[in-house]
Structure 1
Amino acid sequence: MSTFGRAFRVTTYGESHCASVGCIVDGCPPGMKLTEADIQPQLTRRRPGQSALTTPRDEKDRVQIQSGTEFGITLGTPIGLMVKNEDHRPQDYKGDTMAGFPRPSHADYTYQEKYGVRASSGGGRSSARETIARVASGAIAEKYLSLVHGVEIVAFVSSVGNEELFPPTSTHPTPSTNPTFLKLLDTITREEVDHPDYLPVRCPSKEAANRMADKIAEFRDKKDSIGGTVTCVIRNCPVGLGEPCFDKMEACLAQAMLSIPATKGFEIGSGFGGCTVPGSIHNDAFVSSVPVPPSQSGVNASPDAPPEPLTNGDKPRPNRLKTRTNNSGGVQGGISNGAPIYFRVGFKPPATIGQAQNTVDFGGKEGVLEAKGRHDPCVVPRAVAIVEAMAALVVMDAVMTQGSRQSMRDALQNLE
């Protein structure tokens, strides 16, 4: 289906080489300032033609708000967003070679089998061009989350091929135990990710970014492709988000990330590396997030000492906890616990490559496919903005769902 979310619903449209792509955003709260300038920066980070390491397709991806706002204020009604395809070349896919052969590891064959027809140019809806709508709608969700909850979402490239930012070691089989990685999650910003030293790869280490750029260039020059991973952190996420049992926070994030074209893997927190350490190391011990007076801390205090007087009138201090470590990745029991939520998404090598490949055509006749057109040798540098957008859509939907539950609960308590 082409609709994502329940309370904050996004319905996308458009193919790789049609007139335009876009979406309808339904459920955006009314009264928020919103113009194209709030959306365009993320689309610019996602757009093709950014560097010699991306597809040369030259699209500006200028977004136009078609509805749902007046004088730059959201109305609470559906918001229509449109981006025109200005440099589409469907003719690249004509002829016996491209039209007659399903590209290996692409969706040409499966779309044909499912629908009985397919968009022959650019992969149609299976193209990454479809993700424009995700990024545009995600920017709207992210603005609300930032204004109301102070949520920060930052993604970066953590590997290209076998070049990794934090390779596993015997000491740190998972980055979740690596202090350098955890500090990065606490401090990294989009401005840093887009620093000239880290572009065009968007890996927050000049040395690692250079290695990754060389790796992409190597495969590009061979008319080949390579995969990689994107790591994302969500900071200041409200506690209590996620709907057990089947819409747990990590389950919704996994669904969102694995719906992005070319994705092949998802792990949250310690991920697969955490499977190699014992529970005594992996468990996230709780600590109080509220400063405890010495007389209540159990340190140098008499067991009979009276509790310290409350400092906020006659209201008790909130009984909030936090964890000393964060191997859980900010989610426990499918519900956000207030710690940073972090996860990693794996992207396969782009399927369309310029090398000759022995395969068969749609009729089963053997032949050689040497694909034409303009394609990324590696998608991860541009996928950073897409991962951030899908994370924002998941959190926004969860915030609205939990907000509805909380408001109804508060109404009952007010009656009491």
Structure 2
Amino acid sequence: MAGNNFGEIFRITTFGESHGGAVGVVVDGVTPGVDISEEDVQKELDRRKPGQSSVTTPRKEPDRAHILSGIFQGKTTGTPLLVILYNSDADPSAYDDIKNLFRPGHADYTYLKKYGLRDWRGSGRASGRETAGRVAAGAIAKKILAARGISAIAYTKASAGITCKSYQPDQIEKNPLRACDPDAAREMLQKITAIQETQDSVGGVIECRLRGVPAGLGEPVFDKLDAELARAMLSIGSVKGIEFGAGFAAAAMTGSEHNDEMTPSGFSTNHAGGIIGGISTGEEILFRVAVKPTSSIARPQQTVDTGGAARTIRTEGRHDACICPRIVPVIEAMAAIVLLDHLKRQIALHAPES
């Protein structure tokens, strides 16, 4: 299976399946001499793990990080770093009755068509559980970036038709939706709970702010910084769209409205979202991603079986009513991985020849 790697210099390879023995990541290109501990990684994994609230899956995975290589006496060695998380609460028997049915919204049909077989145990490689490895790698990237004053913060901007009206970053980790507006978070929770009772699910919009990013990151043509961020976000299974800065609203703006005028003290606006010509401007990078409703719902739906016969399916088991709060750390992780990779490219570009 191709497509399990991401990055050029800071490079990750994720592995594992939802109901297999473990999931994890191999990280290459890690700066040597960085203080990294399992606790650093665990802090981020705890934000992604299941069982956090009434709107997330009740699956009880401790997601305990085990670093098996790339660390010596508490510091990175510069060699490949492997983080593994053993699955302890897998229950593939929940899928026995539907293993020959294609679940609407899932990759069951497309995986079978591509490979000729598929892992029907909770989506296998297509499961959102794959993102645990990304978050582990992102924790390493975030710590290296933090030493340079670069941060990534994401939060739920909208869900269940409710949109945050204020931005209060200190409230994000204090509500189960990881929303930036506590009042909106309460409304979201009430509406999601009501929808959950009808055996349905919801999606939402995640906004991300990248701060402290120096001007000059990104390549001018195919590896534009916004293109790389978009690729990273769209590689996450639940993400269906992305916009930067003014985003789609730019289509209704005039050039004089959208252009970010410059003054001796900097840009007067940031409609570009911190990236112009595929290269960072030094302003805050701002983007939003659209997250689809969780595909696994217990409500009866029409489908077909592997033989092509019409069937009705109900996807039982342990699933998120809203994936937004658990995808927040995944968005941050992938953004950090892109930034660190491009920072290393920039450093390599300006390194003196020997």
Which TM class, normalised by the smaller chain length?
A: over 0.9
Counterpart in the other structure of 2:349: 405
| 1:160–1:215 Cα contact (<8 Å) kept | no
User: By how many angstroms is 1:361 displaced?
Assistant: 1.0
Matching of residue 250 in structure 1 with residue 230 in structure 2: no
C-alpha contact (below 8 Å) 1:350/1:376 kept by paired residues:
yes
Q: Give 1:29's aligned residue.
A: 31
Is 1:153 the counterpart of 2:152? The answer is yes
Q: Deviations over 1:187-246 (max 9, x none)?
A: x64x53102xxx101112121101111121122111111110100000000110001200
1:214-293 → structure 2 map (5 Å cutoff): 214-289=190-265
Unmatched 5+ stretches in structure 2: none
What letter matches 1:255 in structure 2?
R
Is 1:344 aligned to residue 288 of structure 2?
yes
Hey, what does 1:206 align to over in structure 2?
182
Conserved 8 A contact 2:151-2:210? yes
1:120-156 superposed Cα distances (whole Å, 9 cap, x missing partner): 1110111100000000001101100111x20011000
- Give the residue type in structure 2 aligned to 1:247: D
Distance 2:335 2:193 in 1: 29
Q: Partner of 1:355 in structure 2?
A: 299
The count of aligned residue pairs is 352
SS at match of 1:136: helix
Question: Does the CA contact (< 8 Å) of 1:104 and 1:359 recur in 2?
Answer: yes
How far does residue 18 in structure 1 lie from its aligned partner after superposition? 0.6
**Which residue is 1:371 aligned to?**
315
The 2-side partners of 1:256 and 1:130 are apart by 14
Question: Is the 8 Å Cα contact of residues 11 and 25 (structure 1) preserved in structure 2?
Answer: yes
- Report the 3-state secondary structure (helix = DSSP H, G, I; strand = E; otherwise coil) of the residue aligned with 2:69: coil
Helix, strand or coil for the counterpart of 1:154?
strand
The CA distance in 1 between the partners of 2:224 and 2:78, in whole Å, is 27
1:105 aligns with 2:49: no
Corresponding residue number in structure 2 for 1:331: 275
Mapped to 2, the partners of 1:91 and 1:7 lie a distance apart of: 41
Provide the rounded CA distance (Å) in 1 between the counterparts of 2:82 and 2:120: 27
Q: Following TM superposition, by how much is the alpha carbon of 1:404 offset from its aligned partner in structure 2, in angstroms?
A: 0.2
The answer on whether the counterparts of 2:171 and 2:182 sit within 8 Å (CA) in structure 1 is no
TM-score (norm 2): 0.97
Counterpart in the other structure of 1:41: 43
The residue that corresponds to 1:317 in the other structure is: none
The CA deviation string for residues 352-404 of structure 1, in whole angstroms up to 9 with x for no partner, is 10011122111111111011111111101111000000000000000000100
Q: Does 1:8 align with 2:10?
A: yes
Equivalent position amino acid for 1:100 in 2: N
Following the alignment from structure 2 to structure 1, what is the Cα–Cα distance between the partners of residues 320 and 47?
A: 15
From 65, 68, 89, the counterpart of 1:66: 68
Correspondence for 1:308: none
Query: Which secondary structure state, in structure 1, belongs to the residue aligned with residue 137 of structure 2?
Result: helix
Letter in 2 for 1:275: A
Match of 1:77 in 2: 79
For residues 61 and 287 of structure 1, the distance between their equivalents in structure 2, rounded to whole angstroms, comes to: 49
SS at match of 2:350: helix
Which residue matches 1:144? Answer: 144
Displacement of 1:3 in angstroms is 0.4
- Report what 2:163 is aligned to: 164
Question: The residue matched to 2:121 in structure 1 has which SS?
Answer: coil
Which residue identity lines up with residue 351 of structure 2 in the other structure?
S
Contact 1:46 1:382 in 2 (8 A): yes
- 1:193 to 2:172 alignment: yes
How far apart in 1 are the matches of 2:146 and 2:203? Answer: 31
Aligned to 1:316: none
Identity score, percent: 44
Residue number among 53, 56, 59 corresponding to 2:58 in the alignment? 56
State how far apart, in whole Å, the 1-side matches of 2:191 and 2:6 are: 35
Match of residue 126 from structure 2: 126
Distance in 2 (alpha carbons) for counterparts of 1:30 and 1:100? 48
Question: What is the CA-CA distance between 1:43 and the residue it aligns to?
Answer: 0.6
Cα distance in 2 for residues equivalent to 1:29 and 1:205 = 37
Secondary structure of 2:286's counterpart equals strand
Q: Is the Cα contact below 8 Å between 2:171 and 2:179 reproduced in 1?
A: no
- Provide the C-alpha distance between the structure 2 equivalents of 1:99 and 1:28, rounded to a whole number of angstroms: 40
**Aligned counterparts of 1:121 and 1:80: Cα–Cα separation in 2:** 25
Return structure 1 stretches of 4+ with deviation > 6 angstroms: none
1:34 aligned partner, one-letter code: I
**Residue 117 of structure 1 corresponds to which residue in structure 2?**
117
Partner of 1:315: none
Shift of 1:161: 2.7
Q: Deviations over 1:250-305 (max 9, x none)?
A: 0000000000011111001100112212121211011223xxxxxxxxxxxxxxxx
- Secondary structure in structure 2 of the residue aligned to 1:100: coil
Alpha-carbon distance between aligned partners in 1 of 2:140 and 2:191, rounded to the nearest angstrom: 34
Letter in 2 for 1:231: E
The whole-number CA distance in structure 2 between the counterparts of 1:208 and 1:279 is 33
